[in-house]
Amino acid sequence: MRVLVTTQQGQLLEVRVNADDAAGTEATATESETASAPNPIAPEGKELIWGAGSFLVFLVLMRVYLFPKLKKGMDARYTSIREDFEQADATRQAAQSDVAKYEAALADVRAEAAGRIDAARQTVDAERNAKIAETNSKIAAKRAAADAELAAARAKVRDQVAEAVSTVTARTTQLAVGKSPDGSVVREAVQQVMQSGAR
């Protein structure tokens, strides 16, 4: 068993007491703990006074000098940052209006160009259509002339053939019957046969 005791001089002295059944139990005690010791919760005068003093000095320094200076710096920086932002905003808006102006001009130019192209295309189309129509009419005229020539030639040939056939028919009839048929009747019959043969 071990006991911590205080001597009359106030020193801590540790004694070991050998008891027969002291099974290694330990105990410590100081006289000061139970009797005259200040309560561990009670504030100690010097700690209170020094703590209060240092806090108050710190508070006064902060309030009078340190904090206002720091805060002024912070405010100045924040104001300058805000101003920078505002300036940047203004610049951005100016740039945006410039861009808008440029785009409007560009759109004007584009519209004008498109109009001109349309006009040119229309004139070209009109000219082409006129030329095509002219050519077509020329071709048609030529074709009509050729058709007429062809028809005339065909009619002429047919007349000649009919003449020849009617002559031959009249001759043959005269030889077969012995009587010369009326020329107009023969011609009409030949015409009829040729018409039906052509059909």
Partner 1 sequence: MEALTRIARAGIRVAELTAAEEKANSAAQMAGLAYGLAAIGPGVGIGIIFGKAIESMARQPESAGMVRTTMFLGVAFTEALALIGFVAFILLKFA
Partner 2 sequence: MISTQLAQMASARVNSILVQATEGESTRGFHFPPINTLLRWKDITPGINKVVLISIAAALIGTALFLIAANRDHKTAPKGARNLAEIAVEFIEKNIIMETMGRSGLGWTPFLLTMFIFIYICNVPGIIPFIQMPATARMGIPAFMALLVWVVYNATGIKNQGPIGYFKNVLFPPGVPKALYILVTPIEFISTLVVRPFSLAVRLFANMLAGHLLLVIFALLSEALIQAETQRIFLIPIGVLPFGVLMFLTAFEILVAFLQAYIFTTLTAVYLGMATHPEH
Take residue 27 and report the two structure tokens written for it. Answer: 């105990």
The alpha-carbon radius of gyration of the chain (Å, integer) is: 69
Q: Examine residue 5 and tell whether it contacts partner 2 (CB under 8 A).
A: no
Segment near partner 2 (CB under 8 A); pick from 7-15, 106-114, 116-124, 160-168: 7-15
Q: Examine residue 126 and tell whether it contacts partner 2 (CB under 8 A).
A: no
Q: Examine residue 23 and tell whether it contacts partner 2 (CB under 8 A).
A: no
Cα of first residue to Cα of last residue in the chain, in angstroms, is: 156
What whole-number distance in Å separates Cα of residue 133 and Cα of residue 166? 48
Nearer to partner 2, 44 or 149 (CB): 44
What whole-number distance in Å separates Cα of residue 43 and Cα of residue 159? 155
Segment near partner 2 (CB under 8 A); pick from 36-44, 102-110, 150-158, 182-190: 36-44
Read off the DSSP letter of residue 179. S
Nearer to partner 1, 24 or 38 (CB): 38
Please give the distance of CA 181 from its chain centroid, rounded to a whole number.
98
Nearer to partner 1, 17 or 198 (CB): 17
Cβ atoms within 10 Å, residue 44: 11
Interface with partner 1 in residues 11-30 (CB under 8 A):
13, 15, 29
For binding to partner 1 (CB under 8 A), which residues are involved? Answer: 3, 5-8, 13, 15, 29, 31, 33-35, 37, 39-41
